[in-house]
Structure 1
């Protein structure tokens, strides 16, 4: 055991595509996140009721988390998935800022976007992205495999004879094994550490452990394998489904929910194991932040996946902290990822002048600001699948959106919309002109002064993708 540090270690865990209302802490009817609930219920644990992502997909959201800036400031992920730009050189990342305060930094991402490709590895003393075949054959990979064998009947493919179902379970085990070994190494140093990790298994196409999926089949009338294949047929053809209104049958919808919920439970399992490993192996104070990077849609507003809209199913995410001692008033109010990161960096003396959020130790926010770039290219793809699809229900231009506890206000070159929550279908901008005017003025005040413009960025800032990464992104439905 090492001696306690005067400043806490910080572990930030982002869970891919996890929407708040599919979690136990979000009131879901299935117990998908018992570990998140357990951590939130501890004396130093907190769960936030109204946490919102900054954008609709991982590159944009993760850059906002790691720089504390809005989408139209950093510009990463503002355009479509085929035109992702690099992190601007004038923006500092949280690991860079924490390194300046004496922190050792480490990052592990299993999402290909959170890597050196767009510059999100900047500031990490050690960084690992996307384990490969050689990693699984390494001593660490062997240890991860042994961990899997101890749990394969409950958190694996059980006695399934097809190797692919076992292989799909292994990457999270390797990531967990790596994080535990890093924690042990970092805890032996005389400096505090910042550990950032992105767990990607809950991104479509969903391949949850068969033994775990059995618990979540619900109303699906079939085997775990059949549920996976039913859902995969849909998520592998997202634009086709959007073009035809996401008109799922009851069995298709049940399969989607089953595999998605099982994937969330799988990620939650490793969150709980890592939390207990840290608490059992160090006397140092360690702050935990566990959140979804963004959510996922299953037909809401005619969308499958995470594109086109800023619906709550896509933007409202779980946020659980441990060791930060937030008041109840803070956890009940609107909050965004950048606020929590800003609070952490500020608490250890870091420079937060770049941040565009609020320090939750001193203030709260009234509105969340969410943004989405123009999507005409994607809407043209929809029309290719179905020329008769009414794409006018979607904003073709960039959207700026404000969300309070009661209202959601959206503005683009296409139109303005006001929704009285929880209804996100009925535009009541004419019925409540005063509320619309108030939020319109607040939006003008909150928007960053230096607005990013895709047309202003040099082509040299566009990322260059290797053939291997293109294949990986295609598997995830990005390309």
Structure 2
């Protein structure tokens, strides 16, 4: 392994530190100078990848790809097997072994030690906890009324350290600022860490901000900027936000209500964008900004009424796969916009090359291609995505809702997609397929599969060349989640 910063290269091209920031559920189509002025400024100063795509439409497999450089069917982490297997090399592990201080801050409960994402981190902080603890008091937070909150407190107070649990409950119920799902505390913690660290090592910092994820509940001053002029804030936040229930036709959302929800979602992006500005200030104040390669991306997108879906499950539309991605620092500074096709799983190769860290295990494992400006890697002609296993499963939906509509039952299948600049082809393991001309039909509404069999044959061949030799790693089972985690994931709309 290379010693960190032991290179003779110009430090402008080989930054000392790496900061990888994920804006959970940020879709590219909603990121603009109005919702994300900080991110757009970083894009103007650095490099903006306008054609960046996730490998999967939801958090767990997408983060696994980002950490390993592998597609979901390669790393085997998906709805049918929810653990990142121990034999996989990870991005934090590569930097840890190269001598970096590795610090993670997660605000999404999938990205924890319970699911194998702690490997390589010296510190992995759970942003939803005031005092770090294995016991999760999220059930108290989610109580609909005082009776439910008291019942959850009685059930969970002695799960671990009662004093720590009581402190976390007091914070969440009495002291936590409204409209924040951990971003402000996470940014403040990172700022304190940066200002107080006396470690001579460079650092690898990972942070997941979850605010754009359901439930959309931005501070009112942000919501007022993005809701329709005739909208009432209280009416907007009172709209039921339960994606699985909506998809299964348990309740309806009107066009007007979806317009309000899109306003709230955009407000969440604006709020987390301000947190990104504060993070930049913290790096500047610690005299680390000029020596830090900052990567900011979404891990997947979101449906907010598009194609009559809510949330980010069961399909592979660009609404769920097209994500913002910017890089700032080192050789990425001042490069402007790049429109070549890239994927989030390209980040491990890119970060290794950008920092000069040599990790043969991660590079040998990866299916990614470096996006570094001076790379010798060939540009992509296509990007790929997979939806390996429904999450939650159709059986779990039936347990919750009874009979579910055929439009959802159809998604009890595995989906794969290949996307070029001009066309997108999606195929399922039940024989379903569709083809879209993206230049004429960017919203993927018109299926041309029957009209252009030659193109279907060509793109199907690309899918088969990419995926058919692969086996599903660990597809025979999943880890058992703790009850507290299940409840928090249910609150986020996953379960």
| TM-score interval, smaller chain | 0.7 to 0.9
After superposition, residues 294-443 of structure 1 pair within 5 angstroms as: 294-326=300-332, 331-347=338-354, 348-351=356-359, 352-360=363-371, 361-362=375-376, 363-375=378-390, 378-379=393-394, 385=401, 389-391=405-407, 394-414=410-430, 415-421=432-438, 422-443=442-463
- Residue in 1 aligned with 2:26? 18
Change (3 A) 1:392 1:107: closer
For residues 70-111 of structure 1, what are the alpha-carbon distances to aligned partners after superposition, in whole Å with 9 as ceiling and x for unaligned?
Answer: 1001121243xxxx4211121011011112222211100010
Matched, 1:97 2:94: yes
Q: How many aligned residue pairs are there?
A: 431
Report how far residue 390 of structure 1 moved.
Answer: 3.4
Q: What TM-score results when the alignment is normalised by the length of structure 2? A: 0.80
- Residue in 2 aligned with 1:452? 472
Change (3 A) 1:341 1:34: same
- Residue in 2 aligned with 1:146? none
Query: SS where residue 24 of structure 1 aligns?
Result: coil
- Residue in 2 aligned with 1:175? 186
- The runs of 5 or more residues in structure 1 that have no matched partner are 26-30, 137-161
- Residue in 2 aligned with 1:218? 228
- Residue in 2 aligned with 1:252? 257
Match for residue 38 of structure 2 among 32, 35, 39? 35
After superposition, residues 187-206 of structure 1 pair within 5 angstroms as: 188-206=198-216
Change (3 A) 1:374 1:114: closer
**1:400–1:412: 8 Å Cα contact kept in structure 2?**
yes
Report how far residue 181 of structure 1 moved.
Answer: 2.0
**1:297–1:314: 8 Å Cα contact kept in structure 2?**
yes
Query: SS where residue 191 of structure 1 aligns?
Result: coil
**1:246–1:303: 8 Å Cα contact kept in structure 2?**
no
Change (3 A) 1:32 1:375: same
Alpha-carbon distance between aligned partners in 2 of 1:398 and 1:61, rounded to the nearest angstrom: 16
Alpha-carbon distance between aligned partners in 2 of 1:22 and 1:105, rounded to the nearest angstrom: 31
Report how far residue 214 of structure 1 moved.
Answer: 1.0
**1:246–1:302: 8 Å Cα contact kept in structure 2?**
no
After superposition, residues 42-53 of structure 1 pair within 5 angstroms as: 42=45, 45-53=46-54
**2:79–2:390: 8 Å Cα contact kept in structure 1?**
no
Alpha-carbon distance between aligned partners in 1 of 2:317 and 2:206, rounded to the nearest angstrom: 27
Greater Cα shift, 94-103 or 164-173? 164-173
Report how far residue 382 of structure 1 moved.
Answer: 6.3
For residues 29-68 of structure 1, what are the alpha-carbon distances to aligned partners after superposition, in whole Å with 9 as ceiling and x for unaligned?
Answer: xx100000111111xx111111101101111111110111
Alpha-carbon distance between aligned partners in 1 of 2:17 and 2:450, rounded to the nearest angstrom: 50
- Residue in 2 aligned with 1:28? none
Query: SS where residue 117 of structure 1 aligns?
Result: helix
Greater Cα shift, 105-114 or 463-472? 463-472
Match for residue 88 of structure 1 among 78, 85, 89? 85
Matched, 1:288 2:291: no
Alpha-carbon distance between aligned partners in 1 of 2:79 and 2:468, rounded to the nearest angstrom: 14
Change (3 A) 1:324 1:442: farther
Change (3 A) 1:365 1:208: same
- The runs of 5 or more residues in structure 2 that have no matched partner are 1-9, 134-172
Alpha-carbon distance between aligned partners in 2 of 1:9 and 1:195, rounded to the nearest angstrom: 8
**1:7–1:192: 8 Å Cα contact kept in structure 2?**
no
**2:218–2:271: 8 Å Cα contact kept in structure 1?**
yes
Alpha-carbon distance between aligned partners in 2 of 1:471 and 1:245, rounded to the nearest angstrom: 20
Alpha-carbon distance between aligned partners in 2 of 1:74 and 1:431, rounded to the nearest angstrom: 35
Query: SS where residue 293 of structure 2 aligns?
Result: strand
Report how far residue 447 of structure 1 moved.
Answer: 1.9
**1:290–1:320: 8 Å Cα contact kept in structure 2?**
yes
Q: What TM-score results when the alignment is normalised by the length of structure 1? A: 0.83
